[in-house]
Structure 1
């Protein structure tokens, strides 16, 4: 297979030749230029819902401004929340701003990110505490808002299919803290899951693969997620990755970060060693990689330990190459 065919096979949980190298065989559209689900990189400002974001130099990212909330009461969402007019958007200009002409469609998988999913958009509009309270006190109103947001996301998918024609979309909605889900599994199943399901199904109707990006720890939700038809789950290594692969049982590919938080903390504390990094990641890449349904989220290296991670991944992916049977 070509690198593009191999990556699409991984995304489709089919037989692969070799674990893919993230970022190399893919052209990613991060929608902060053409359609502003968040402000432009390295800047604060307002997104296309009118929500204010503040850029943090320390975090090198923008986050919702905690001092301003557009929506104070979830019961007022119909009057207060102004959904962007997707028909009035200049999509041809958006494609230019997102440099889609630089994509090599013969050799690259085109991946368009969709930011601020159900829970994320709710807390960007309301603030985190109020959003969590609304889930408990006004579930019907939250559900109605999520229905409207799912309609909006499905229409956005229609526009992306028409103007960007991606192979896959990466849909963002973080569901967990460092220790567990933001909400009870039952609340997630009632309010979030069915709306995400609609978006997944519509994505597949358009012939686009669906990658779910969700940070945090939410192992209790993996059985549900693996049954939704989600093609790839992009998650954090604080999850039980081996168990997630087992539960998914070939129906969903798992892509996980590589001890990003622990290695950064241990390195700053002076206790991280090259030997530890090499031994740990080589073992995990080999154990999980044998499934043919896992690959790590290996960032372009900017630290010494990220270089080590990349070196070990290169070793393992070639050690396992050609061993996949299904």
Structure 2
């Protein structure tokens, strides 16, 4: 029997997997909740909201609230809480978090990373938010989208600033953790279209990720998994160009079977189980198995990992994630 890591590689390389990759199993590492390497002195700066708790301000100065029954915290964008109110003056208000921590600051995190069985799973570092998200977290989505059109020079400068920060962060992750895989969040679309046109995405976002993902690949990272639980089919060629190995979060509106047919062998797809459909209050094992079955039947054994679309193991409603995993195991018994 292949290890979880080996089975994933066989799947995304069009080889001989002996079962379906079951959601996030190949990335389950050190964090008890999310399953990936999430702790480090850089990301620990600032405060984080708890579900149903008070809003908190992170190290970038962004205030986040986390209402109950939603999967994550979201930035607060009334006029009082926006960090960037005038994009032409971003340098006056945006200050990147510190990245130059001494070795002793990293020491408490190392035992858990060193305990990972890298033959069984990928030592996976979790990075969020991404470049596009960082833009609208600081100023709001409406302002961000307008500024791409109205103040492109300032937006280029801001994205360059984010990129340099991410590269400094990446250098420290590589130095201390030597991750095999990077799981990187950056939502690039709604359920029906990308937020930016492909041409604008190519101009503003692609250069940043070429540098960031290129750095990781040049420094021992084997897999880049990019999360965008959205429509992003029109951006897949750019995903390939910047070095993404797995597009995680691909919801059914992407027409995942067609993407596999067109791009399989260049990139793989992880998702096709829309959280809005499966992760509901009235879920049942039967309804979830039906969704898993139809997805696997359409997508096949290669270049596809059946998975809830949200960006990490778990679900809003208790039991949903486990029910999906059980249905995937059942399909493995039938198909392999």
TM-score in terms of structure 2 length? 0.82
Residue of structure 2 aligned with 1:297, choices 307, 311, 323: 307
Does structure 1 residue 210 correspond to structure 2 residue 224? yes
Q: Which stretches of structure 1, 4 residues or more, deviate above 6 A after TM superposition?
A: none
Q: Which moved more, 1:15-24 or 1:111-120?
A: 15-24
Residue of structure 2 aligned with 1:127, choices 137, 140, 149: 140
| Post-superposition offset of 1:206 | 0.8
| Post-superposition offset of 1:185 | 2.0
Match in the other structure for 2:333: 318
| Post-superposition offset of 1:39 | 4.1
Match in the other structure for 1:162: 175
Question: Relative to structure 1, is the Cα distance of residues 117 and 237 closer, same or farther in structure 2, using a 3 angstrom cutoff?
Answer: same
| Post-superposition offset of 1:287 | 3.1
User: SS of the residue aligned with 1:123?
Assistant: helix
Match in the other structure for 2:205: 192
The separation in 1 between residues aligned to 2:220 and 2:334, in whole angstroms, is 33
Question: Relative to structure 1, is the Cα distance of residues 38 and 64 closer, same or farther in structure 2, using a 3 angstrom cutoff?
Answer: farther
Unaligned runs of 5+ in 1: 322-326
The alignment yields a C-alpha RMSD, in angstroms, of 2.8
Match in the other structure for 2:296: 285
| Post-superposition offset of 1:91 | 5.7
Match in the other structure for 1:21: 22
| Post-superposition offset of 1:90 | 4.8
Question: Relative to structure 1, is the Cα distance of residues 183 and 60 closer, same or farther in structure 2, using a 3 angstrom cutoff?
Answer: closer
TM-score in terms of structure 1 length? 0.85
Question: Relative to structure 1, is the Cα distance of residues 13 and 196 closer, same or farther in structure 2, using a 3 angstrom cutoff?
Answer: farther
User: SS of the residue aligned with 2:160?
Assistant: helix
| Post-superposition offset of 1:149 | 1.4
Unaligned runs of 5+ in 2: 30-35
Match in the other structure for 1:225: 239
What are the superposed Cα offsets for residues 271-311 of structure 1, whole Å, 9 maximum, x if unpaired?
x7765543442132133133x11011255575566555333
The separation in 2 between residues aligned to 1:48 and 1:102, in whole angstroms, is 29
The separation in 1 between residues aligned to 2:238 and 2:114, in whole angstroms, is 38
Number of aligned residue pairs: give it.
Answer: 315
Match in the other structure for 2:70: 59
What are the superposed Cα offsets for residues 75-115 of structure 1, whole Å, 9 maximum, x if unpaired?
2223321112311x356434635843553334332111110
| Post-superposition offset of 1:165 | 1.3
